[in-house]
Amino acid sequence: MVNDISCRNFEKVNEILEKYDYKPSNLISIFQEVQEIYRYLPEEILVYISTAMRIAPSRIFGVATFYESFSLEPKGKNLIKVCDGTACHVRNSDKILSTTKEILNLKGDAKTTDDMLFTLETVSCLGACGLAPVIVINDKVYGNMTPEKVRQLINDIKEVSCNDQDS
C-alpha cells in the first residue's frame, strides 16, 4: 500500500489531473483513480488537488464525503462486505458479521485490521438476495454463507498473502 506522500506520488496525481484536464466536472473520476492508488483519499492528496485545480477545499472535501464509495480512512488490502439487508438478516447475517469480526480480531467500531490486510464493512443489500446470506470479498460475491465458509475464505486469503510475502 502507498503510505508515504512522496514527490513520486504527487507525480502520479498530476498525471491523473492532466488526464482529466483539471476540469472540476471530472472530479469524481479523478477521485476514483486516486482511490484506486491509495484505496482511500488521503487528506494531503485532497488538499493538493484543491490547490492544483483551484477549487475550494470545502468543495473538495464536500464531494469526497458525500459519496459513500469514497473513503477518507485508510482501508485494508482486502475489502469484505457483509450484507445486512432484510433477506440476509433473516438468514442470520448477524452471525456471519460477528464471526468475521471475531476472526479478524476487530474490536468495537474498528473496521480495519492492524496489519492493514482486511477492512470489514456492512451493506444494506448486495442485490443477490436469493443467495442470502451473502458477503462480497474484493468484488467477488459469495452466497449461502456460514461461519465456517467465512473462516475458510479468510484463511485462504491470509495464506496467499503469507506466500506473497515469502516470495
Question: In the complex, which residues of this chain contact ligand FES (CB under 6 A)?
Answer: 83, 85-88, 125-129, 132, 134
Q: Is 7 annotated as a binding residue?
A: no
Give Dmax (Cα) for the chain. Answer: 51
Q: Is 83 annotated as a binding residue?
A: yes
Q: Closest separation between CB of residue 110 and ligand FES, Å? A: 23
Q: Closest separation between CB of residue 27 and ligand FES, Å? A: 31
d(C-alpha 158, C-alpha 138), whole Å: 14
Cα–Cα separations (whole angstroms), residue 48 to 4, 55, 86, 114: 14, 10, 42, 28
Q: Closest separation between CB of residue 81 and ligand FES, Å? A: 10
d(C-alpha 27, C-alpha 41), whole Å: 13
Task: Tell me the residue ranges of DSSP E strands in the chain.
Answer: 78-83, 118-123, 135-137, 140-142
Question: Smaller CB distance to ligand FES: residue 83 or 120?
Answer: 83
Burial class (CB in 10 A: 0-12, 13-18, 19+), 74: middle
Question: Smaller CB distance to ligand FES: residue 55 or 129?
Answer: 129
Question: Smaller CB distance to ligand FES: residue 117 or 129?
Answer: 129
Question: Smaller CB distance to ligand FES: residue 108 or 130?
Answer: 130
What residues are designated binding site? 83, 88, 125, 129
What residues are designated binding site for [2Fe-2S] cluster? 83, 88, 125, 129
